């Protein structure tokens, strides 16, 4: 019998895709000539929000701004850890105005906000797991931002190099299955081929019991998932990965965000965790 898993109530920050569109291409998933159904994206997003609430989680939202079609991807706006915010500095000029909008929400909510000097795209490339902060680089976030984050939070930061442009953010190649908030080391799910050989070796050493995902799992955005320690909110297309998680004692909760995937985003991209 797989072990019994324990849910921890979470607080999430999101942004409605009211102005969602694909008007430019800043990752391999984005095609400007592909039609986008904004109303479908809004319905899919609303289902995700209701699903979180149905599972006992608190969800808050930032008001979307016209001409910022990627604001729905709230995870990129920063990392909230220990009641402090390490903000964002986007690589793409089209997304840079988002930083100030989210920073205002953070400050109004009473958080101390650090504006990074190096390019850093928030939880897209920063994933707290147990005593470590896993930090991705290779396509967006600069490695210099990892050192900034370590100095700001005082948490050991582990640099991981991404090598496949389809998995341009860490949160498309890895997610925290157990974040270790109970004092344990935590555990992750990841796609090994998304990482450099040295980074794979680091992950193998840190997480010998990790769930390994296939390329098919990753292409289905199964690694862009959110776990509350018991339930895993996962792309409905990532069926095989969901089955493996169930075998480990987790409860997969499939959610379809296929319309938002046209911009290279999924469940985790739409979800910023507010950690006290």
The two tokens of residue 78 are: 């920063």
Q: What's the CA gap between 17 and 7, in Å, rounded? A: 28
Q: Which entry of 57, 120, 146, 269 is annotated as an active-site residue?
A: 269
List C-alpha distances in Å: 189 to 21, 58, 210, 217: 30, 24, 6, 11
Q: What's the CA gap between 268 and 76, in Å, rounded? A: 10
270 is catalytic: no
Torsion of Cα atoms, 190 then 47 then 45 then 165, to 10°: 20
3-state secondary structure of 25: coil
Strand 226-227 and strand 231-235: the pairing is antiparallel
The two tokens of residue 235 are: 């792309």
Torsion of Cα atoms, 247 then 253 then 255 then 261, to 10°: -50
Strand 11-15 and strand 58-62: the pairing is parallel
> Which residue do the tokens 């929000």 mark?
49
Q: Which entry of 114, 132, 146, 169 is annotated as an active-site residue?
A: 169
List C-alpha distances in Å: 239 to 30, 60, 107, 255: 24, 29, 39, 11
57 is catalytic: no
Catalytic machinery residues: 169, 269
């Amino acid at each position: 019998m797989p072990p019994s898993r324990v849910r921890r109530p979470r607080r999430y920050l999101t942004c409605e895709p009211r102005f969602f569109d694909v008007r430019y291409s800043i990752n391999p998933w984005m095609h400007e000539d592909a039609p986008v159904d904004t109303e479908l994206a809004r319905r899919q997003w609303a289902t995700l929000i209701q699903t979180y609430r149905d599972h006992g989680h608190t969800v808050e939202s930032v008001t979307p701004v016209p001409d910022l079609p990627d604001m729905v991807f709230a995870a990129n706006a920063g990392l909230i850890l220990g009641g402090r915010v390490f903000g964002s500095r986007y690589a793409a000029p089209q997304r840079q105005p988002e930083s100030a909008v989210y920073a205002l929400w953070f400050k109004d909510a009473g958080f101390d906000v650090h504006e990074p000097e190096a390019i850093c795209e928030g939880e897209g490339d920063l994933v707290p797991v147990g005593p470590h902060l896993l930090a991705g680089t290779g396509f967006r976030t600069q490695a210099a931002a990892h050192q900034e984050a370590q100095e700001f939070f005082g948490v050991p930061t582990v640099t991981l190099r991404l090598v496949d442009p389809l998995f341009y953010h860490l949160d498309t190649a890895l997610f925290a299955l157990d974040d270790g908030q109970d004092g344990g080391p935590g555990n992750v799910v990841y796609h090994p081929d998304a990482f450099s050989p040295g980074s794979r070796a680091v992950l193998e050493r840190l997480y010998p019991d990790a769930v390994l995902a296939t390329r098919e799992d990753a292409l289905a955005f199964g690694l862009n998932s959110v776990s509350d320690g018991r339930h895993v909110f996962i792309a409905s297309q990532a069926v095989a990965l969901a089955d493996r998680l169930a075998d480990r004692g987790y409860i997969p909760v499939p959610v379809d965000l296929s319309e938002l995937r046209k911009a290279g985003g999924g469940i985790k991209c739409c979800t910023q965790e507010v950690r006290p």
